[in-house]
Amino acid sequence: MRPLSDTFARITRLRTGKAKHLHSRNRLSTLTNVGSNPGALKAKYYLPTNLAKKPALVVVLHGCTQIPADYDVCSGWSKMADEYGFALLYPQQVRDNNGNLCFNWFLPGDIRREAGEALSIRQMIETMCSRHKVASERIYVTGLSAGGAMANVLLATYPEIFAGGAIIAGLPYATALSVSEAFDRMRGQGIPKPRELRAKVLSASGHSGPWPTLSVWHGTRDSTVAEVNAQAIVEQWRGVHGLGAAPTDTETIDGQTRKVWKDNDGRGLVTLYSVQGMGHGLPLDVASGYGKSGPYMLDVGISSTADIAHSWGLTRKPARGRRGESIANPSSEHSAVAGHSSSAQGKIRKVIEDALRSAGLMPK
């Protein structure tokens, strides 16, 4: 039961009004009039004062229980945009769609091309491109947890739009089509074989390439989304790119293992970062000058924001602070959940199921 309790113990606290927003100043503006918006999402965006004439655009997808303003402050994306002149788009989930503010990466109507939440985000991107002269060949997407899974949905359904993506603590595309299947996949159960994983992406759009590059980030002690999902995402996109099973390079970056799969021209197409000892969250190196610690925003000595931006050519070099330290999760909330006895786990299960029912995610 640890994956469910780890996820929903905090959700229950949020629903009772005990959550505190982390942003001291909301730097984001509201994006309006984005089209038909069939997924009924909201959106925020950020434009630095030194916006390039044809800027790159980074689409950032928050995780469950999060909002764009908090995610932006903790991840450091707008601070980096200030320095390098690119634009940011933050699609935002609403409680009418999902009581826990998770993007619906597991609902068939939201993960198909030209439908639901996927189409809403595509329309938001079109709006940003037309209003702010975004360079169409420099559009990228990243996300955490449910946001990471939805980033994968966008890469699969609209691969012609994106030059690259980064999935953090996420899941492979189209492997869950219901709430119960979503929880199974989060636990690492029932994940399809590599050939089927590849076929799901290839059938999502009819696209024949070129395909976006991808980096995958996952903590080795993630008890919310099992680490096996990271390897499944790699298998999914390695197959799409037609790459071999073994990584081309394995190296250590800020104390963490990075595996890279390259094409015949030596271009890195798929990259896997395994963050030792990290629980469920976004890897940060606050000493690098980007980001701030918070729930699911973890200062582990490597900045995913800086490394992702550099891999996309948005910055001159990745920011480095201190060497990473292996930690499970600095949040006392997670530690308290992990330390419960089996009898307490039964009580937690009831709380979780009550929260799910109140959110409309379980039958009453």
> Residue 83: exposed, middle, or buried by beta-carbon count in 10 A (0-12, 13-18, 19+)?
middle
Two structure tokens written together for 115 = 């439908």
The residue behind tokens 């199974």 is 184
Find out whether 306 and 285 touch, Cβ atoms under 8 Å: yes
CA proximity to 87, closest of 147, 117, 131: 131
Cα distance between residue 39 and residue 290, in whole Å: 32
Kindly tell me the burial class for residue 20, based on how many C-beta atoms sit within 10 Å of its own C-beta (0-12, 13-18, 19 or more). Answer: exposed
User: Quick count: other Cβ atoms within 10 Å of Cβ 102?
Assistant: 25
Interatomic CA distance for residues 267 and 204, integer angstroms: 25
Catalytic: 145?
A: yes
Assign 3-state DSSP to the chain and report helix, strand, coil percentages, each to 5: 35, 15, 45
Handedness of CA 243, 249, 252, 257 (dihedral sign): positive
**99: helix, strand or coil:** coil
Q: What token pair was written down for 62?
A: 């928050």
Active-site option among 75, 145, 215, 331: 145
Q: Is the Cβ–Cβ distance between 105 and 146 less than 8 Å?
A: yes
The closest alpha carbon to 8, from 168, 129, 186, 169, belongs to 186
Cα distances from 33 to residues 46, 261, 360, in angstroms, run 16, 40, 29
What's the CA gap between 298 and 292, in Å, rounded? 8
Which residues does residue 141 pair with via DSSP β-bridges, in sequence order?
Answer: 59, 165
Catalytic residues: 145
